[in-house]
Amino acid sequence: MKSDRLLSILLLLQTRGRVPAHELAERLEVSVRTIYRDVEALSAAGVPVYAERGRHGGIELLAGFRTDVTGLTADESRALFILAAQGAHAALGLDAALGSALRKVMAALPAPHRPAAEVTSRRILVDATRWKGGPQGPVDLDVLQDAVFADRRLRLRYRHSGEREPRTYTVDPYGLVSKAGVWYLVADRRAKPRLFRADRVRSAAVLEDPVKRRPGIELADVWQVLRRQVEERPGGLGVTVRVRRSRLDMFLRLNASHLAELPDTDGEGEWVTVRLMYGVAPEARQLLQFADHVEVLEPPEVRAEVAAAAASVTELYQRAVRAGR
């Protein structure tokens, strides 16, 4: 709606100062011509807004002009009170600030929307952590935050998965990302994007050197690149299994990261065929946790790998039984 767009333009100019017309157009998903028409409408309504054309031009409010805008819609009011689990705010030391901010927002809401916003905060909860995610190491985000907000380089001692000794890196941080309850530092190392799990950082020091980010690149841009690299990483080895229908839901939950495609669950047979992707054959040994509810069909080398692992486990316990343990 045009009224919502005008309000958005006013708020952006009030918080950002001068903003190029093309940037407003991109943010609001309209044409530059529409933005200029909206500016004319704001001016006609008495808002002291003006536009300057040229290389360094843009749209700006008259210096010193402020407005107390509380024209939130009912849905916008409710959306503000649907928040992620408190753990994210606690990790950043912002629990108290969050509570204070929400109280201020509640006081500023139009009176008809306050009851709905209050009920939403009590009826909707978003918990970003995964079920049975397993224990995580302690996470100290203080130094990482300091570097992010001070725009300084960081020196990390970081332990990679599967390695005992940490390595030392000097990085240029873009910011912090919480993904499914796990905190990550997004940074450049030698102008290449890197991802560091915060719970694997053994120590961190903020350097005096200013951060050296790639021009025009923001945290969201780097995160999208890194996320695609993780999600599109080739599995290497396709594996076909059959799963008893009674265990299928649990199997799919626990093996979501290995699924090559969603299985066809139509039908009423006892077994459902599922296709998985692994890096190497030994990774498929984890299928033994489902005992005889899962059978590897192909390839033969993975079937042999799982069979050998099962035989090894059987021999281990048979020796214990023969020894009377």
Residues 239, 276 contacting (CB under 8 angstroms): yes
Q: Which of 91, 89, 94 is nearest to 126 (CA)?
A: 89
Same domain, 113 and 54: no
Q: Is residue 170 domain-resident?
A: yes
Task: Spell out the SS3 assignment of 22-60.
Answer: HHHHHHHCCCHHHHHHHHHHHHHCCCCEEEECCCCCEEE
Is position 293 within any domain?
yes
Q: How far apart are the first and last CA of the chain?
A: 75
**Region 244-269: what's the mean pLDDT?**
87
* Inside any domain, residue 278: yes
- Kindly state whether residue 194 falls inside one of the protein's structural domains: yes
284: Cβ contacts below 8 Å, ≥ 6 apart: 239, 276, 278, 296, 302, 305, 306
Can you give the residue range of the structural domain that contains 101?
74-123
* Gyration radius from the chain CA atoms: 27
Please calculate the CA angle 85-91-96 and round it to the nearest 5 degrees. Answer: 75
Look at residues 167, 235, 225, 157 and name the one whose alpha carbon lies nearest to residue 194: 225
118, two tokens: 């209050």
Q: What is the pLDDT of residue 136?
A: 62
Tokens of residue 317, six digits? 């316990």
pLDDT tens track for 41-87: 888 888 899 888 777 778 998 887 876 656 677 777 777 777 655 66
- Asked if residue 68 belongs to a domain, the reply is no
Together in a domain, 98 and 172: no
Identify the band that residue 292 occupies on the pLDDT scale cut at 50, 70 and 90: very high
**Among the ranges given (166-170, 264-268, 295-299), the one the predictor scored with the smallest mean pLDDT:** 264-268
Asked which of 15, 40, 61 is the last residue of a domain, the reply is: 61
Is the previous residue joined to 234 through a cis bond, with omega within 30 degrees of 0?
Answer: no
Residue 170 has pLDDT above 90, yes or no: yes
Domain assignment of residue 253, yes or no? yes
Domain count, the chain: 4
Mean pLDDT, the chain, rounded, equals 85
Nearest to 239 by CA among 186, 189, 187, 300: 300
Q: Please report the pLDDT score of residue 1 as a whole number.
A: 57
- In the chain, helix, strand, coil percent, each to 5? 45, 25, 30
Q: What is the mean pLDDT of residues 268-279?
A: 90
Instruction: Tell me: pLDDT of 310 over 90.
Output: yes
Residues 257 and 206 in one domain: no
What DSSP string describes 127-142?
A: --SPTT---------H
- Stronger pLDDT, 166 or 94, i.e. the higher one: 166
Residue 247 has a pLDDT of: 92
